[in-house]
Amino acid sequence: MTSSGVWHLIQWLHYVALALWIGGITFVSAVAAPAAHRSMVSKAVAGELVAKILKRLNGIELACCVILLATSFSSLSFVTTNETGLWYLILSIFSMGILAFYYSFHLTPRMESLKEKIPTLDTLSSNHAARAEFDRLHQLYVKLMSLNLTVGLLVLYGSVVVLK
């Protein structure tokens, strides 16, 4: 494969991984989660469904992070005019990976542990200690995932500028 063929493959993999990550977050937060919570009788059942979807998405996010870091580091030998911009992209992608790792392997297990202690979210008042803690962790999860979406959109813009 010629060097331009390798460069095009690197760019293609980079954009596919970025599209899957950004698109996955957007789909779950704008389509799947709201639809599940609106259409199911029980909030607890809807939450279980969304939790299973998020677990799969978290795996995809981490795989995309590895691909994005690999393609970004591979781009160092091709990008000569904006190397500083590429290092900012790498730092941003690494930050997204840390956030995804944190909410996948720290927040999710804590929320699952709380759900085991709670008979059902549908019957508990929001004043219950375990429910309040679950709600707090859930809000943090949503904020961190939203931050990842925002940084991902910035990475997309930066990729278009730097990897041209």
- The reported pLDDT for the residue numbered 115 is 85
CB 126 within 8 A of CB 57: no
- Interacting residues of 93 by C-beta distance below 8 A, sequence separation 6+: 65, 68, 69, 72, 155
**CA 11 to chain CA centroid, nearest Å:** 20
Give the residue among 108, 152, 154, 160 at the shortest CA–CA distance from 19: 152
Q: Is 68 exposed, middle or buried (0-12, 13-18, 19+ CB in 10 A)?
A: buried
- The reported pLDDT for the residue numbered 127 is 78
Give the residue among 135, 145, 136 at the shortest CA–CA distance from 103: 145
Query: Can you read off the two tokens belonging to residue 80?
Result: 């000569």
* Block mean pLDDT (10 aa), the chain, length 164: 88 98 98 94 89 97 98 93 94 98 97 84 74 92 98 97 90
- The reported pLDDT for the residue numbered 43 is 83
Query: Can you read off the two tokens belonging to residue 43?
Result: 């909030």
DSSP letters for 18-83: HHHHHHHHHHIIIIIHHHHHHH-S-HHHHHHHHHHHHHHHHHHHHHHHHHHHHHHHHHTTT--S-H
